[in-house]
Amino acid sequence: MVDAIALRASETVFELAESPLWNPDSHRVLWVDIPTGRVHSGTLRDSTIVDTRSVELGEPITAACLARDGGLLVSTQRRLVAIDGAGDRHLGPDILPAHRRNRMNDGACDSAGRYLVGTLSLDGEKFAEELLQVEPDGTVTAMRSGIGLSNGIAWSPDGARLYHVDTMAHTVWVAEYDVASGVASEWSELFVVDGEYPDGLAVDVEGMLWVAMWGAGQVRRYDTAGRIHTTVRVDAPHTSSVAFVGPDLDRLLITTATSELSKSERDATPDSGAIFIADPGVKGMPANRWGGSTSNPHWGKTGGSASVENSGTSKNG
């Protein structure tokens, strides 16, 4: 059953659009195009994105997060980059294990200002990925291991439950989350999506999960028991992520991709790679912000490598 249809909002199509955000300071929507290394933004006018702008880093960008000081924190393939309010860039060190060929993927901030970001395999090794937690002081902790492909990250409205998508396991996981310490415990399967690939996700004010379904051309609204309440159809099979946007956080912005589509598939779905807008009938939660400094980040002070700590059993799933 289809409850809503998303409308194409962008004139341009992107190779792998991801990590959508609403910036309430500028009243603009943001997203990244991973392979081109660009952060894009635009003004949402009715159901169309206008006045688009972009910032290019010269390396792939996998996710972006607003910062409390007005800047932006982005994850590239292997490091974090802080972009301050003046547009100056502060490059962090490589924070991934040297023995692996992988990269960072989707990321999000908790309400205390920590950045959580997962990894994706580039060497074919299966279920060897991690979920990392980066403190505002630059300390990096491995929270979970044994992940197939780390994707969407979000919290319940009260911040007490952490949701995490493992795309290759077709699973949305949940953990009890202590915001004060950043410890995630009691990891368990929230629900499994049989035969399909969950990707990015967002949580609404009622605690429901909106999950982009890669390969299905849909965004689905799930309750925490895994029941589908709403299905939004998107005229692009590779729906990659979703966010609530607009001054009232009552619009649903959906990113899509041309990546992994054959020429015949692209010809059959010419809207693939575009940004879409839908009206979900419910409001979303505002995006949490990075608590570190983007103008003088920790790694800028030390000039050294980030400190990577083993989380032990308390944070492993």
pLDDT in tens, 205-221: 999 999 999 999 999 99
- Please identify which of the residues 199, 250, 267, 271 carries the catalytic annotation: 199
* 311 assigned to some structural domain: no
Per the structure, the complete domain to which residue 258 belongs is given by: 4-303
pTM: 0.93
* 35 assigned to some structural domain: yes
Domain count, the chain: 1
pLDDT in tens, 164-186: 999 999 999 999 999 999 999 99
Dihedral (CA of 299, 304, 305, 310) sign: negative
Q: In this predicted structure, what is the pLDDT of residue 312?
A: 34
* 313 assigned to some structural domain: no
* 199 assigned to some structural domain: yes
State the pLDDT confidence band at 298, using cuts at 50, 70 and 90.
confident
Q: In this predicted structure, what is the pLDDT of residue 311?
A: 41
* 222 assigned to some structural domain: yes
In whole angstroms, how far apart are CA 276 and each of 9, 71, 82, 240, 254?
A: 5, 25, 28, 11, 5
Q: In this predicted structure, what is the pLDDT of residue 304?
A: 33
pLDDT in tens, 234-243: 999 999 999 9
* 308 assigned to some structural domain: no
Q: Is 199 a catalytic residue?
A: yes
* 314 assigned to some structural domain: no
The domain that holds 296 is classified in CATH as 2.120.10.30
